[in-house]
Amino acid sequence: PESVTSIGGTAFQGCSSLTSIIIPEGVTSIGYWAFNSCSSLKSVYCKPTTPPNGESNMFASNASGRKIYVPASDDDSIINAYKTADGWKNYASAFEEYEFD
């Protein structure tokens, strides 16, 4: 739900039926291996404009070709912030901008 502010370590680890997730705008932290080994996870939609504090390997061992969608900005500041943030920079090649409703 939109009221979530933190996703704990290993919260969804090994959830093989998870194909897509939406990280609410109010999330400020994602723990170690939170979505590790979610072998069907292909789409991650991150609504926060500031990258949540993230641990390395939070998205390790997901489906091949997994994309992480972040809010679009005219100057690429949001996607660039994600690409350089600790924990997130490991997934820099997976980012794409997205227009959230």
Of 80, 82, 30, which is closest to residue 60 (Cα–Cα)?
Answer: 30
pLDDT at 86: 94
For residues 94 and 62, the answer to whether their CB atoms sit within 8 Å is: no
DSSP 8-state secondary structure symbol assigned to residue 76: S
Whether 92 shows a pLDDT value over 90: the answer reads yes
pLDDT at 101: 79
13-65 pLDDT, tens digit each: 999 999 999 999 999 999 999 999 999 999 999 999 999 999 889 999 999 99
pLDDT at 79: 98
64-81 pLDDT, tens digit each: 999 999 999 999 999 999
